[in-house]
Structure 1
Amino acid sequence: MRIVWLALAIWGAVHPMSWFIAWFREHGFDLMGMVDAWHTNAATSGLVWDLTIAAVALTVWIVWECATRRAWLGLIAIPATFCIGVSCGLPLYLFLRSGRVARDGM
């Protein structure tokens, strides 16, 4: 499963970033413009909030589990989540966690 998590993390980084880069090429590096574009209608606003809540839930889980198990490497999934997306952060954390679980026998 580790390879599956890693492959999903890479896909979850590359695919969304290709869309973000295309948007920046067309509109310039305008983060607020991109945020405005995410809220063009109720459907996209709902999706943005869905992903935001998922990112916050994932962050709480990562922080709690890293603090409980003293496995700090997993914290790198938090900036991946907020700078790229949940599609990268979640499988990245599962990849990192699966290596720790395999080593520690937890």
Structure 2
Amino acid sequence: MRFVWLALAVWGTIHPMYYFIGWFNANTWDIMAMVDAWHANAATSGLVWDLTVAAVTLTIWAIYESFSRKDYLALLAVPATFMIGVSCGLPLYLYLRSRPGAVRH
């Protein structure tokens, strides 16, 4: 399963970034313009909030488990989640959590 988690983390990085970079190239590199585009209508706002709740949930889970398991490397998933997206952060966390030698209870 580790290979699956890693493959999903790579896909979850590359695929969304392809669209983000394309949008930035066509619409200037203004992050606030992208935030405005995320809220262009009710459907996109719903997706933004869906992913925001998922990102916060993943962050709380990763922090709680990383400290309780004393497996701090898995915390790399937190910045990946907010800098790239849940599509990278979740499979990255599962990949790091399942590595050989990771502390288990």
TM range (shorter): over 0.9
Matches of 2:37 and 2:102, distance apart in 1: 45
- Structure 1: 5+ residue stretches without partners: none
Contact 2:71 2:103 in 1 (8 A): no
Question: What SS class does the counterpart of residue 40 from structure 1 fall into?
Answer: coil
- Structure 2: 5+ residue stretches without partners: none
Matched, 1:6 2:21: no
Aligned CA RMSD, in angstroms, stands at 1.1
User: TM-score by structure 1 length?
Assistant: 0.94
Identify the residue that residue 18 of structure 1 maps to in structure 2. 18
Following TM superposition, the consecutive aligned residue runs of length 4 or more in structure 1 with deviations greater than 2 angstroms are 102-106
Higher helix proportion (structure 1 or 2): 1
Number of aligned positions between the proteins: 104
Matches of 1:32 and 1:59, distance apart in 2: 24
Identity of aligned residues (%): 63
Matches of 1:6 and 1:92, distance apart in 2: 6
Letter paired with 2:74: G
User: TM-score by structure 2 length?
Assistant: 0.95
